[in-house]
A and B are shown apart, each in its own frame.
Chain A
Amino acid sequence: MSRESSNGKGVVIGLDVGTSRVVAVQEKDGKRSVRSELNAFISLPWSKMTEASLARESIPFLVRGGEIIVMGNESARMADLFGKELRRPMIHGMLNPDEPESLDLIRAILRTVLEPESTAGARVRFSVPAPPLAGEGTLTFHEASLRQILGDLGYSDVGAVNEGVAVIYSELPDSNYTGIGISCGGGLCNVAMAYLSVPVLSFSLPKGGDFIDANAAGVTGELVNRVRLAKEESFHFNGNYSDKVQQAIAVYYDDMIQSVAGSLRQALQGSRSLPRFGRSLPLVLSGGGVLPQGFRERFEKALGEVRLPVEVSEVRLARRPLEATAEGALAAALSE
């Protein structure tokens, strides 16, 4: 069989459209490149000087009425600078209905991570969350909107990939794509189980980084953005926290971990369509939420406490947790 890679087949792109970050992994002529932008924005009062400065620095922005909307990686720095809260075009893994500009913002952010010259004949697979475990909510609008935006950007071969499954495609080739993939993102934790690449179970939980940030900010009186920075820059699990913010972050991290482990057990027990695995399964953790030191051990302990009905052979972190979903989407695109 000839390997249908990007060689001679144009560009193949895996796209992780997450609540917190948008990551694109592109393969062209056998070479891979990764681009990533924060999926967030802040609005600033418009002035000609501000607009000129942003343009000069090549910082992505939009002008809307009397405001300049700064998006992507620079928005975090500016939010901290101006003491403002970051806003997100997505919430809980899907387009944020409370942000009227969400479609335009996503379009602009996607434009920054996708190379405009690569649209002709390109194949794009983008990640979508799984339905929530409780069965509520709908993904139709979110997925259809992303398809439309990518179509508007010139991509005609566009498809969706379940986020948890993408993690499996990225991280579990050694187990024949059999195992459990978990992506702990900004808005959701996505969980999937696959058997020989076949998704047999997938669900999402509305507890991610934003859940931790918002609740920790609520109990400490800090700005959410400050809590987020504290979490990303210095938080780690060691059971001995120096300040109240770190302690609050740990509390809500534990809540998230226990929810994921408990929900996985519940989903496994409730599912009637699981295969005989015949062996213990690897479990891989990815996403920005797994980055704090000690997360893997904490998760492994929680998993042991809930007693899953399947045996887990190992709990490991993805090689590049922030890129695993996009890498898996790329693998999905390449393997079609």
Chain B
Amino acid sequence: MRPFAAKPGRLWTAWTGWRARRVSDPVERLRLLRHTVGDRRLWPADDIAGGKRQLRWRVWVLAAGALVLAPLGAMKNASWPWERTPLALAGTAAPAEDRVPDVWLVEETPAAEQYSNGLRIERKYETANEPRRYEVYALGRENEGPVEERTAPAGIVFHSTESATAEFRADQTPRLKRIGKFLLEYVRQERAYHYLIDRFGRVWRIVRESDAANHAGYSVWADDRWTYLNLNWSFLGISLEGRSSGEEAGPDITDAQVLALRQLVAMLRSRYAIAARNCVTHAQVSVNPSNMQAGYHYDWATRFPYARIGLPDNYRLPAPSLWLFGFTYDPSLVVQTGESYWLGLTLGDDRLRQRAASEGATVEACRAKLAANYRRLILQWKARMEAARGAGAPEASVQGARPPAVQTDFEDVKETGK
């Protein structure tokens, strides 16, 4: 694992500033800066008013060195080939995270777990899979590669099974239970989610929280510091039995399911200190690398009950796939999924435009660069995963495990476990 990339130094910026001051023509000076420092992220994010603490002598030493070493002609050359990276623009700062709830385990048996907020987790279908291990990227500096390896889940992806079910009526109870049982057996076999909440609000653990599950395939998310790829490994998957894209009446989800989901989310957020903005729906994270479009899966593309489960409306967050990796979206998706998801897409588009503007590039050029970067990262990630599996990673010992697929055939994107 590569360590954190070195932060660009203050010396470098001071030197560049000094170089720029040598250029008398304002337009030439601007061009020099925009083509050199203009698109680099130069500073640590932890200090704003630390100027007085700067080690000024280092600047002077460097400036003196530059005088000796750098030919004046070269100082005017604006075409420096340094790689450009995006900027964090204002107006987009992450909102203050809401308080992580305090929930604890009260009782544990081989059959179930009971939690302090009323949550009960059924363990009958619990199974193992490939242990969770994933890498994160520094937000805005994804091109530098992963900077950290982790094993604790960073977020939650909400799914719906989109499976056929019976009408939710008392006289349909036996049928509802039978359908639910088949579904549980299927998702267990596929290691499709970490949790499934059936029509009666019962919470079933499928894949252990310590392991990855096949729930999100190609997917992208980012919070205010980190970027996550392929969320099978980094995010927990919770699915609600039923359809998220219901008719006019709305999603086919019961009140019992919503209540159970609220309790489950509170427990998981408490256990792993999961930020609220990292609790998002499958539609918000799903991408299709074959055509570079977001929203490959669109379960919970709209009307996910964020408020009812105690979360902010995360549909309002700009879609990271658009502004970090240049994905686009099919306009028909907007029509189909409604205003809430539409907002995240357009905000993501806006962010991309800001990014392009800050880099002095056209939107198309910026998008193409980001898309190429995404493909490169995916290929690198695949190579690392295959190397790890070839080296006899622990998952080989899990009987019947279905390790999340390592996909890079962009023309044939398939996922198990909708």
Name A residues whose Cβ lies closer than 8 Å to a Cβ of B: 1, 3-5, 128, 130-133, 135, 138-140, 143, 159-162, 165, 169, 173, 176-178, 193, 195-204, 267-268, 270-279, 309-311, 331-332, 334-336
Closest chain B CB from A191 CB (angstroms): 8
**Cross-chain contact A335 with B31 (CB below 8 angstroms):** yes
Across the two chains, which residue of chain A brings its CB closest to B37?
A: A196
Across the two chains, which residue of chain B brings its CB closest to A266?
A: B93
A4 to B76, CA, bound (A): 13
**Cross-chain contact A274 with B48 (CB below 8 angstroms):** yes
**Cross-chain contact B34 with A197 (CB below 8 angstroms):** yes
Closest chain B CB from A199 CB (angstroms): 5
**Cross-chain contact B316 with A273 (CB below 8 angstroms):** no
Across the two chains, which residue of chain A brings its CB closest to B19?
A: A176
Q: Per-residue 0/1 for B66-94: is the Cβ within 8 Å of any A Cβ (1 yes, 0 no)?
A: 00000000001110000000011111111
Is residue B358 contacting chain A, with contact meaning CB distance below 8 A?
A: yes
Q: Per-residue 0/1 for B17-44: is the Cβ within 8 Å of any A Cβ (1 yes, 0 no)?
A: 1001100011111111110011111111
**Cross-chain contact B358 with A173 (CB below 8 angstroms):** no
**Cross-chain contact A196 with B33 (CB below 8 angstroms):** yes
Closest chain B CB from A188 CB (angstroms): 12
A274 to B90, CA, bound (A): 10
Task: For A272, give its contact among B30, B45, B91, B316 (CB under 8 Å).
Answer: B45
User: Nearest 4 CB-CB pairs, A to B?
Assistant: A201-B90, A275-B43, A273-B88, A173-B26
**Cross-chain contact B316 with A271 (CB below 8 angstroms):** no
**Cross-chain contact A331 with B30 (CB below 8 angstroms):** yes
Chain B CB count within 10 A is highest, among A165, A193, A196, for: A196
Is residue B211 contacting chain A, with contact meaning CB distance below 8 A?
A: no
**Cross-chain contact B17 with A196 (CB below 8 angstroms):** yes
**Cross-chain contact A176 with B353 (CB below 8 angstroms):** no
Q: Which of B193-201, B213-221, B342-350 contacts A (4 or more CB under 8 A)?
A: B342-350
Closest chain B CB from A206 CB (angstroms): 13
A-B contact pairs, 16 of them (CB 8 A): A1-B32, A131-B354, A176-B33, A193-B90, A196-B16, A196-B33, A197-B30, A198-B87, A199-B357, A203-B91, A271-B93, A275-B48, A276-B10, A277-B51, A309-B48, A331-B26
**Cross-chain contact B47 with A131 (CB below 8 angstroms):** no
Q: A3-B28, A140-B350 are in contact. Are A268 and B48 (CB under 8 A)?
A: yes
Closest chain B CB from A268 CB (angstroms): 7
Complex contacts, A200 vs chain B, CB 8 Å = 87-90
A277 to B47, CA, bound (A): 9
**Cross-chain contact B45 with A1 (CB below 8 angstroms):** no
Task: For B31, give its contact among A278, A311, A336 (CB under 8 Å).
Answer: A336
**Cross-chain contact B10 with A272 (CB below 8 angstroms):** no
Across the two chains, which residue of chain A brings its CB closest to B49?
A: A309
Chain B CB count within 10 A is highest, among A131, A165, A177, A335, for: A335
Task: For B91, give its contact among A132, A310, A331 (CB under 8 Å).
Answer: A132
Is residue B362 contacting chain A, with contact meaning CB distance below 8 A?
A: yes
**Cross-chain contact A279 with B51 (CB below 8 angstroms):** yes
Is residue B162 contacting chain A, with contact meaning CB distance below 8 A?
A: no
Within 8 A of A (CB), among B347-368: 347, 349-350, 353-354, 357-358, 360, 362
Task: For B27, give its contact among A275, A279, A331 (CB under 8 Å).
Answer: A331
Is residue B174 contacting chain A, with contact meaning CB distance below 8 A?
A: no
Task: For B353, give its contact among A139, A203, A270, A331 (CB under 8 Å).
Answer: A139
A310 to B47, CA, bound (A): 11
**Cross-chain contact B30 with A1 (CB below 8 angstroms):** no
**Cross-chain contact A276 with B93 (CB below 8 angstroms):** no
Q: A138-B346, A162-B357, A276-B50 are in contact. Are A202 and B43 (CB under 8 A)?
A: no
Closest chain A CB from B54 CB (angstroms): 5
**Cross-chain contact A198 with B51 (CB below 8 angstroms):** no
A161 to B38, CA, bound (A): 14
**Cross-chain contact B91 with A130 (CB below 8 angstroms):** yes
Chain A CB count within 10 A is highest, among B10, B33, B38, for: B33
A162 to B355, CA, bound (A): 11
**Cross-chain contact B87 with A273 (CB below 8 angstroms):** yes
**Cross-chain contact B45 with A274 (CB below 8 angstroms):** yes
Is residue B395 contacting chain A, with contact meaning CB distance below 8 A?
A: no
Complex contacts, A332 vs chain B, CB 8 Å = 30, 360
Q: A176-B29, A331-B27 are in contact. Are A131 and B91 (CB under 8 A)?
A: yes
A178 to B48, CA, bound (A): 14
Across the two chains, which residue of chain A brings its CB closest to B139?
A: A273
**Cross-chain contact B54 with A335 (CB below 8 angstroms):** no
A161 to B358, CA, bound (A): 8
Closest chain B CB from A141 CB (angstroms): 8
